[in-house]
Chains A and B, each alone.
Chain A
Amino acid sequence: MNIKKFCLSSMLLALSIAIYTLESFIPPIGIPGVKPGLSNIVTLISLMYLGKGYTALILFLRVSVTSLISGTLVSFMFSLFGSVFAFAVMSVLISFLPKKLIWAISVCGAVFHNLGQLTAAAILIENLSSLYYLPMLMLSAIITGAFTGITAQILDNRLGQIIRRKFLQ
């Protein structure tokens, strides 16, 4: 384990926990599962600089810690399903898509995050009525995924060099 990478991943974990917790204070808008998903920015940055192993660890710890802070077993399950689905699709796409398409990887991640949450809901309620929310969740995933993806791309342009010089050399 490289100590600089370890420091960077710890900072990204702390950042994602803070973002996730702040986001949970946004009042619900009436459609379950619709939220900005801002901690996905951290996941994307981590995938770009630290790779899949560190990102998987950061995601799992973020889900666990935030569930301990403010969640329940049910919310942990929703969070875990969403994160596993999103991570699976983004970690595959990032290895063969160019950096200018980070926004598209982010949208795919958001779409699969929401599909994961629908799967969790279907398992918990043991029927498929949750599919009613599918169109709304797809629409919101495309909007929020594009937003977080573009934000990650801007961050990469502004901070990429500094992060590489300080932590990855």
Chain B
Amino acid sequence: MRTIFNNSKFWIGLFSAVAAISIAAIVLTELNTGTDVLIFYKDKLIYTMKLSENETKRIELDEGYNEIEVKNGEVYVKSADCKNQICVNSGKKSSAGSAIICAPHSLTVKIENDGPADASV
């Protein structure tokens, strides 16, 4: 056991494998375009939007506000009154499974792919 862990090649191999899996996961996520925007406060769904329809929604919470905009098939947080502004700096998202998180407000903007519902439109 000790000899394997003491070998640099073991660690290089391990980290390369983790890096390769991570890159594959990033690419696979990016390839899968989403259809619906789900906005959660903690684990409760509070609002939904369609990525296909432009819309701006201001979410007011006890903790503060987040202004969320869907434009040209992408969703982003336009403005928020949290201190760190991480949600605003997270940029535009469009792939299924991606998320924008505003931890100070316990708010999550999540994109999902609703295949069957999209086909019926």
Contacts and interface: CB of A to CB of B under 8 A. Distances in A.
B108 A28 contact: no
Contacts of A28: 85-86, 89
Interface stretch (B53-61, B65-73, B94-102): B94-102
Interface of B: 2, 5-6, 8, 11, 15, 18-19, 21-23, 25-26, 29, 40, 42-43, 83-86, 89-91, 97-99, 101, 103-104, 106-108, 110
B104 A72 contact: yes
**Chain A interface extent, by class:** 20 to 34
Contact of B26 (A32, A130, A135, A146): A135
Contacts of B22: 134-136, 138-139
A126 B42 contact: yes
A75 interface: yes
Interface stretch (A47-55, A82-90, A99-107): A99-107
B90 A97 contact: no
Contacts of A139: 19, 22-23, 26
Summarize A's interface: helix, strand, loop or mixed: helix
Contacts of A125: 40, 42, 101, 103, 106-108
B103 A78 contact: yes
A121 B91 contact: no
A161 interface: no
